[in-house]
Amino acid sequence: MSPGPGSPAPERIVLVRVAPGPELHARLLRLLSERPVSTRIFLQGDGVTLATDPSVPESLIAAAEWQVCIGSWTRRHDGDPPAPFEPATLAGWLDALLPESGPEPELVSLGQASGVDDDR
């Protein structure tokens, strides 16, 4: 399941709400390589389809901690997301934005509910 209390907070949290594709893969790889820090990627809405997309580069999967919004997932799929994608809740993701101690992580948002692509 999701990292629990006491888990180290990531330095960057990325919210992905758009369906995957070559452009998204390239943007995530570029983001992760420009400033390599511990990164948690939270997939929500159409973004959860990335967990079953066979075209996702293995280097992208290996470069981050992955979480899938369980509500978005269960509306689209039966069962749990495949490893290494961990089921998580939106509330848990929001908690990670405000750690009890240490600096707040950088937030990057890719996509909105309207389908508009929006980098922070």
pTM (two decimals): 0.81
Q: How far, in whole angstroms, is CA 15 from its chain's centroid?
A: 5
What are the domain boundaries of the chain? 12-110
Taking the C-alpha atoms of residue 87 and residue 99, their distance in angstroms, rounded to an integer, is 20
Q: Which CATH number fits domain 12-110: 3.40.50.1000, 1.20.910.10, 3.40.1260.10, 3.40.50.720?
A: 3.40.1260.10
Q: Which of 13, 12, 2, 7 is nearest to 100 (CA)?
A: 7
Instruction: Give 56-104 pLDDT, tens digit per residue.
Output: 999 999 999 999 999 999 999 999 999 999 999 988 877 877 777 777 7
pLDDT at 7 over 60: no
Question: Count of CB atoms within 10 A of residue 80's CB?
Answer: 15
Residues 91-106 pLDDT 10s: 887 787 777 777 778 8
